[in-house]
Amino acid sequence: MTESLDVMEDGSVRFTVMPMDIQCVDEISLQYFSSSFAELAYPWMTQAHRVFTQLGIDEDEWDEYSTLSSIKFIFKCKRQHPMPQENTSITSGSSGAGPVYLFIQPIPQPSDNDEVWRFWAEGTKYFWSSDSFGKEEMSEDMQLSLGLPSFTSEIYAIYYYWDQSAYEAIKMVHHHHHFDPSTVDLASMAGHSILELVGDDDRFETWEDSIEMTSTSDSQESVDGPTLNTCWDEDNDQSWSSEGEDSSMLEEMEEENEVEMKLMHVDEESDMEGNEFSHMDS
């Protein structure tokens, strides 16, 4: 299925499959990466102390601030319709059997408002079509006749956060250059964008029933097109776990006296798990 993935102009994802082939698929996993993660992560570390100072954020709350890395969208086969044996043109995979198209609806951008996200959350996440442009959804009866599966959907947001030791390390870098950590001097020296506080504290509160975002960037967050993982049933033991991935990212800064410091240690967490968006049935 990987080769058949196409991203449409409206952001939806299209898979072109033969009805017989889709019978083997147990799970489809799409991952959308944030295009501005790197643009925000490095400026954030050099200016975090400034933000914490201006907002009066205590040290024990530092690791509560994070930036969106990616969104994982998982479709699990809910109901596998048996392929009708009498439909020999389909089951045999003969040249007379044409492909069908699975369309995954585009997900909203993280910067979209609550209404856009709720409309998407309450709507259908996918549909089958016999039209390559998805202009007409396939009827339930047709899906049954072709043996096409139904899916449940789950979405996970992957955030990166830095613990207190990382912030203490970056403070040492500030002091090494005789900079005040509450200023933008280090960020300016490193050539990073200057973050601007957006105002009231409400912008830093959890967006209820949606994705938690930290609004300190001077550019809007966006999500790139997806990458694909598929899991096959029965004889294939591949599986995906939202808690099975821990990663770390290190930035090394070399000073004139050849001092190297680890600026970042990031762990991966899935803040979506447990709320309305962590598991949604289609």
Looking at per-residue pLDDT, the higher value among 88 and 4 belongs to: 4
pLDDT band at 16 (very low <50, low <70, confident <90, very high): very high
CA–CA separation, 196 and 199 (whole Å): 9
Q: How is residue 14 written in tokens?
A: 């299209």
Q: Which residues pair with 126 in a beta bridge?
A: 104
Strands (E), the chain: 5-7, 13-17, 25-34, 66-79, 100-104, 126-129, 150-162, 223-232, 252-254, 260-262, 266-270
pLDDT band at 49 (very low <50, low <70, confident <90, very high): very high
Q: How high is the pLDDT of residue 173? A: 96
Contact criterion met (CB below 8 Å) for 164 and 31 = no
CA–CA separation, 147 and 83 (whole Å): 4
Closest Cα to residue 8, out of 93, 103, 94, 90? 103
Least confident of 87-91, 135-139, 208-212, 229-233: 208-212
Q: What is the pLDDT of residues 127-175, one digit of tens each?
A: 999 999 999 999 999 998 898 999 998 988 899 899 999 999 999 999 9
E strand or H helix that includes residue 46:
helix 37-55
Whether 55 shows a pLDDT value over 80: the answer reads: yes
Angle (nearest 5°) at CA 97 between 93 and 101: 105
Instruction: Say whether 154 sits in a helix, a strand or coil.
Output: strand
Looking at per-residue pLDDT, the higher value among 9 and 269 belongs to: 9
Distance of CA 208 to the CA centre of its chain: 18
What phi and psi, each to the nearest 5 degrees, are found at residue 87?
-85, 75
Whether 53 shows a pLDDT value over 50: the answer reads: yes
pLDDT band at 280 (very low <50, low <70, confident <90, very high): very low
Residues in the chain: 282
Whether 177 shows a pLDDT value over 60: the answer reads: yes
Looking at per-residue pLDDT, the higher value among 228 and 26 belongs to: 26
Instruction: Say whether 131 sits in a helix, a strand or coil.
Output: coil
Cα dist from 198 to 67, 130, 205, 249, whole Å? 16, 47, 13, 27
Cα dist from 42 to 32, 134, 163, 166, 256, whole Å? 20, 41, 15, 12, 20
pLDDT band at 26 (very low <50, low <70, confident <90, very high): confident
Q: How high is the pLDDT of residue 260? A: 28
Average pLDDT over residues 258-271: 32
High-pLDDT (> 90) share of the chain, %: 34
Q: How high is the pLDDT of residue 34? A: 82
